[in-house]
Structure 1
Amino acid sequence: MVEGSLRPAATRENFERLRADPLFDDIVGMVANYLAMAFDAPASAERERWTLSCFPQTGRASGLRRMCTLNFGSMEVLYISQQLSDGVVADHLVTHYVSASALESVSGFSLSDLVIRNGRMSIERTSMVSAGGDGAVIQRWLSDPVACDQAAGIAIDARTIRPLADHLATKGRGSHQRSHNRWFAEHVLGLMAN
């Protein structure tokens, strides 16, 4: 595909813009870990089961700019956003999607109990149809060390990510092919290969 026909989220320019961000290595690590927990061979699933975009144009929430999005089929499963204050980056919001039933089973707690126990994060069932009623969305601000500690203690791992990835595989390819950033994907897969 000629770069001129790509959506902005799929261009080398947007990848270079993401790579210039001070959190780039952390973002690559989050994406690589998520892919490793979802697939036995992430490279062979690229474009068929997952896509990755840089600075996608989204229905922007007030004051937030999406930096990158990992999609499994048609569902966004991991994204990192910048919180902007007067045009300056003030913080970063990390959003993960996992299987709600697996999260409850692994933790031994209901989602509502997990919210009470992890009050610095947002945890709720997602209404995304592609999750088939079994998706949970977990959000945390990177500037909040307590929320980051809570996230490290909750099962955002293969036990909760893989069931969602397997479910989404039954839904087929998503609509994000034209936004897939091959430079970002190559970088993440290169890190995973080392």
Structure 2
Amino acid sequence: MSFDDLEAKMRAEPRKQERFGELVKGPYLDKVVAANRAYLTAAVPEPAATERDHWALSCQPTTNGGRLSTINMRRMETFVLLPPEGTDEDVWGFMVVRDSVLSRYAGAGQGIEERYPDLTFDRARRYQDAGDDQVQVFGRYDELIDALAEEPFAAAARELATSLLTGRTNNARHHNYQLADRVLGRSST
């Protein structure tokens, strides 16, 4: 089977189309697209060239209950978005980045946590593929977008992604082309 045949088959999978359709009908599509676009822009050079084989974007995956989207590289999640948890909440999520890179950008007498008080940093959770130099950063989708627009987070996300993009993701079969098309600006439908 050729790559084009495989892509056509994956695009036509009814369950993937249903999940994307559910996202389109709900209130979170624009937020999911914007946040995933910000992450891929900051972290992945030429995302279209490495799509599906080196990173995969799932749409409303059934793992870990209720996710809106997940970007995977190798065997790990690098960027996850979740629906609001409470009535006053908004779309939120986390990204995994290089901790040492964030530390280099911390100001004199000010840690990275003090520079970004709206974000939460978790150094206890570990993904094997990322090694010891990692931190999970949690926040609302707009806070994550704002952080990724700044060099400390863009560099930290890019450095981690660069190490992961050298191998294939084991989540290629879960890649949702309809959502990826929106995120990568290939389609407005």
TM-score range with shorter-chain normalisation? 0.7 to 0.9
Find the aligned partners of 1:135 and 1:42 in 2 and give their Cα distance: 22
Amino acid paired to 2:56: T
1:18 Cα shift? 1.3
Q: CA deviation at 1:67?
A: 0.7
Which residue does 1:180 correspond to in 2?
Answer: 175
Q: Which residue of 1 aligns with 2:128?
A: 129
Q: Give the drift of 1:148.
A: 7.0
Secondary structure in structure 2 of the residue aligned to 1:22? coil
Q: Unpaired segments of 5 or more residues in structure 1?
A: none
State the Cα distance separating 1:50 from its structure 2 match: 0.7
Deviations, residues 9-41 of structure 1 (Å, cap 9, x unaligned): xx0110111122323112211111211222221
**Aligned residues of 1:120 and 1:150 also touching (Cα < 8 A):** no
Give the distance between the partners of 2:31 and 2:99, measured in 1 at CA: 25
Matched-pair contact (CA < 8 Å) for 1:7–1:178: no
For residues 162-186 of structure 1, what are the alpha-carbon distances to aligned partners after superposition, in whole Å with 9 as ceiling and x for unaligned?
A: 100111124x212211211111112
Structure 2 match to 1:156? 153
Q: 1:107 to 1:90 in 2, by over 3 A?
A: closer
Superposition RMSD in Å: 3.3
CA distance in 1, matches of 2:88, 2:33: 19
Q: How far apart in 1 are the matches of 2:23 and 2:103?
A: 34
Residue 112 of structure 2 aligns with an amino acid whose one-letter code is L
Amino acid in structure 2 at the alignment position of 1:155: P
Q: 1:33 aligns with which of 28, 32, 38?
A: 38
Q: 1:117 to 1:83 in 2, by over 3 A?
A: same
The aligned runs of 1:58-73 (5 Å cut-off) are: 58-60=63-65, 65-73=66-74
Q: TM-score, normalised by structure 1?
A: 0.76
TM-score when normalising by structure 2? 0.77
Q: Deviations over 1:51-89 (max 9, x none)?
A: 0011111233xxxx211111122221111111345xx89
Q: 1:168 aligned to 2:164?
A: yes
Question: In structure 2, what residue type is equivalent to 1:182?
Answer: Y
Q: Which ranges in structure 2 are unaligned for 5 or more consecutive residues? A: 1-5
Report 1:1-194 matches (<5 A): 2=9, 8=15, 11-60=16-65, 65-84=66-85, 91-108=90-107, 113-125=111-123, 126-141=125-140, 151=147, 155-157=152-154, 159-170=155-166, 172-190=167-185
1:183 alignment partner AA: Q
Higher strand share: 1
| Fraction of identical pairs, as percent | 28
Q: Distance in 2 between matches of 1:6 and 1:149?
A: 30
